[in-house]
Structure 1
């Protein structure tokens, strides 16, 4: 057993006769004994399917207790959990299955119902390993698959003393998704960091509303709560209509969210401020949270928002605002992470100087699964591709992605700076600023805008937005073009994917 699995086992014992996980979809509480029983049954089913330590187990379950138990079971076997979107189309899932050699599949209702078609598309043979079993979730064994072995994963495991626990792919906002493998040691270090920095105890109850196939929910919500002895209340998905009732009824003390969730809660605010005395804070990460939205939310609901910064490559958390002294606009201070700001020559920069953010720590990967991406690791540091600066007090401010910076006549422009201004205009619902090819300046600053109801993409709107931006930004930062769209490409947590937006705008321009 590893430190991670030992700690999970201890918490199952501690909660043997107490509530540990509640599934809101079934309105059912599970004790530690219930969780252990279901986990052990699933472990037996996986073993019956032929799963061994180091094998990949694909999990496409919807949010719920079963999903968490599947993670516990896979970790207990020292197998590798690859948790994916349970609603992804079959062709996309078939492509994922063709990417690796799997020990077994644990599929949710949508995918399980179409398992025959999935098998045909993925060129594999599937068989149900358990029917009449105490395990709540069926396991599909793969009796034939074209990929003979996971050579890269085997090589990676051979050079790491801690077993691999989780496989994930980055969102691919600036290029092809990269395979990230996280060891038990990295997952435990990350969960401990979250629990310590957020002062989590056995008295805490968290509401899980983010998708469990995302690193944020897996580590920040599930593993950090588990190792600190708290209780998990799991929603199948976020619901603005039910959110405040959940918080009240379940006596939620904190939760990890995303800026999109906070913005929706603010937009759908009830006429009467909800009474949620147990809620200590809401943690926001996965995308930038605009300062005026945070201020408006805190002023109305009287609930602090603690903004953080994380990524899959760091097993979630990198920085977080201290509970006692948060700074609006900042993603906080490094907690258990070495962080440095580097210039283009990899030289460390002083406070106030913008550069690329680089990391090192017990929870930070030192290589991707595919060694062709090794250029991101230099001199012992992982180069994130994010751009930002530290102030004199050590708080980090994110400027944007290095590859998303717009080069307008030699001026390097941060899309986030412009977006933060434009979203303050009442006409703007969402905006993504990108650089499109320009014969004179290299790249033209272009704003793709989703308008609020009641506004139209007419010349008057463009003129109003341009005037609004001109009064708040340097002239070279003001978009030269505004394009009005119905929606913007976004990842599962609502983070706008600028590369996809840019690609779509360029395709539309070509036509």
Structure 2
């Protein structure tokens, strides 16, 4: 047992005869007793099949109670939960299986039919399927003994007193994905920090709409709510059509979202404003939220948006805006985290100066699983690769990614600054600004644009966009080229992946 599993057990016991998790897909509630029964049954099946401490359990289940119970069971065994996108094609999942040795695969509907093939690819003799994904009490079935060895993971565990609980890969927007392992202590520290900073209580009811294979939903929504005694209402996926009825009918008090969700809700706003007085706030993270979108949303729906900043390497939350003292455009103040802004020589900078964001804290990793990335950890700080500044009140403003900054003739340009301006133009639905090779300036500022219906990407519109940007930005920041595209590469949470956009534009140019 660890303090994390003790905290989970305590809240399961507190909900013995009370609702704890609801599946919006089936409309059924699980009490604490039902959660414990299903968790213990799964843990027993895993243990009897040979899965133990340190073994990796790959989970490819859709959003729902099954996913959360699989996480609880894996943590209870001190095994390592590796939760992946349940909708990924089988060939993509097969590629992931070569990364590690596995103790078990827990497969949902999209992958269950190929369980034998996938188990063979993973070099394991154990696969677990949810036999009926719509059943109130899912039945987990197991096969023969599991054999799993992970030399790298074993070596990592030897240097930490707390069991490893979660394995995740960063999104890899600026390079190869990096394996992040989070211990029980780090997960608990993060969950406690979130619960405290958001004043979560047993009276809270959160709506889970973000994918559970990402750190945001897994820690901010699930673990923070679990340890604070609140209720989890889980949607299989976000639905703009059903969102406000969910919030009203389920008496949702808060939820963690993303800028893409907020923008969609604003675009599909109902003619009559929903009455959701119990909804204290909506968190926004995973990507920058445009100030004009936040203002328009809050003005129409009368619901505060609390913007925050987090990453897998910090087990989610790093900063968050206080509900009573938010600053639009800022991702808030550090909570439970030491944060400093550093120059290129790793020297701390004063308030207002822009540099790289570096972190230290109980929930922040001190190394990646692969030691070749150890250069990201220097002088006791984790260097995030994000660029920003702190104002005089300690609020953090993010400028962009260090590797995404555009070097135009020696001027370092933030894509986010230009994107925030361009998205205010009525023609633009989405935009990603990148630097493309330029013989004279090194990189030219290029905007890849997805247009709103009714607009045509022609020379007339390009002239209008250039004029619009010129009136609001310094000359060297105005895009020299606008490229009109049908869509922009994005991750599962909706975050635009600038490196993929840039590579796509380069490939188009080369072709």
Length-normalised TM-score, structure 2: 0.97
In 1, are the aligned partners of 2:106 and 2:129 still within 8 Å (CA)? no
For 1:142 and 1:220, locate their aligned partners in 2 and report how far apart those are by CA, in whole Å: 35
The unaligned stretches of length 5 or more in structure 1 are none
In 2, are the aligned partners of 1:447 and 1:483 still within 8 Å (CA)? yes
Flag the 1:326–1:155 CA change in 2: closer, same or farther, 3 A.
same
In 1, are the aligned partners of 2:54 and 2:164 still within 8 Å (CA)? yes
In 2, are the aligned partners of 1:49 and 1:129 still within 8 Å (CA)? no
1:138 has 2:140 as partner: yes
1:201 has 2:227 as partner: no
In 2, are the aligned partners of 1:210 and 1:493 still within 8 Å (CA)? yes
Q: Which residue of 1 aligns with 2:261?
A: 261
How far 1:143 moved relative to its partner?
A: 5.9
In 1, are the aligned partners of 2:434 and 2:446 still within 8 Å (CA)? yes
Q: Which residue of 2 aligns with 1:467?
A: 467
Q: Which residue of 1 aligns with 2:339?
A: 339
Question: Aligned ranges for residues 351-430 of structure 1 at < 5 Å?
Answer: 351-430=351-430
For 2:130 and 2:107, locate their aligned partners in 1 and report how far apart those are by CA, in whole Å: 13
Question: Cα deviation per residue 1:125-152 (whole Å; 9 max; x = unaligned)?
Answer: 555599799972535557688xx62111
For 1:466 and 1:509, locate their aligned partners in 2 and report how far apart those are by CA, in whole Å: 21
Q: Which residue of 1 aligns with 2:87?
A: 87
Q: Which residue of 2 aligns with 1:212?
A: 212
Deviates more, 1:131-140 or 1:183-192: 131-140
In 2, are the aligned partners of 1:66 and 1:137 still within 8 Å (CA)? no
Q: Which residue of 1 aligns with 2:350?
A: 350
Flag the 1:153–1:269 CA change in 2: closer, same or farther, 3 A.
same
Q: Which residue of 2 aligns with 1:180?
A: 180
- 3-state SS of 1:102 partner: coil
In 2, are the aligned partners of 1:45 and 1:135 still within 8 Å (CA)? no
Question: Cα deviation per residue 1:306-326 (whole Å; 9 max; x = unaligned)?
Answer: 000000000000000011100
Length-normalised TM-score, structure 1: 0.97
For 1:129 and 1:454, locate their aligned partners in 2 and report how far apart those are by CA, in whole Å: 47
Question: Aligned ranges for residues 105-254 of structure 1 at < 5 Å?
Answer: 105-119=105-119, 125=125, 136-138=138-140, 149-254=149-254
The unaligned stretches of length 5 or more in structure 2 are none
Question: Cα deviation per residue 1:461-497 (whole Å; 9 max; x = unaligned)?
Answer: 1111100000000000000000000000000100000
Superposition CA RMSD, Å = 1.7
Q: Which residue of 1 aligns with 2:51?
A: 51
Q: Which residue of 1 aligns with 2:492?
A: 492
For 2:206 and 2:421, locate their aligned partners in 1 and report how far apart those are by CA, in whole Å: 33
For 1:162 and 1:134, locate their aligned partners in 2 and report how far apart those are by CA, in whole Å: 34
1:285 has 2:277 as partner: no
Question: Cα deviation per residue 1:51-108 (whole Å; 9 max; x = unaligned)?
Answer: 0111000000000011000000000000000000000011111111111111101100
How far 1:506 moved relative to its partner?
A: 0.4
For 1:488 and 1:21, locate their aligned partners in 2 and report how far apart those are by CA, in whole Å: 35
Question: Aligned ranges for residues 8-27 of structure 1 at < 5 Å?
Answer: 8-27=8-27
For 2:288 and 2:141, locate their aligned partners in 1 and report how far apart those are by CA, in whole Å: 38
1:326 has 2:338 as partner: no
How far 1:116 moved relative to its partner?
A: 3.5
For 1:127 and 1:244, locate their aligned partners in 2 and report how far apart those are by CA, in whole Å: 38
- 3-state SS of 1:443 partner: strand
Flag the 1:55–1:119 CA change in 2: closer, same or farther, 3 A.
closer
Q: Which residue of 1 aligns with 2:296?
A: 296
Deviates more, 1:58-67 or 1:114-123: 114-123
- 3-state SS of 1:195 partner: helix
Q: Which residue of 2 aligns with 1:40?
A: 40
In 1, are the aligned partners of 2:58 and 2:83 still within 8 Å (CA)? yes
How far 1:168 moved relative to its partner?
A: 0.1
Deviates more, 1:112-121 or 1:122-131: 122-131
In 1, are the aligned partners of 2:409 and 2:443 still within 8 Å (CA)? yes
For 1:131 and 1:50, locate their aligned partners in 2 and report how far apart those are by CA, in whole Å: 21
How far 1:50 moved relative to its partner?
A: 1.4
Question: Cα deviation per residue 1:264-295 (whole Å; 9 max; x = unaligned)?
Answer: 00000000000011100000000000000000
In 2, are the aligned partners of 1:103 and 1:141 still within 8 Å (CA)? no
Aligned length: 509
In 1, are the aligned partners of 2:60 and 2:108 still within 8 Å (CA)? yes
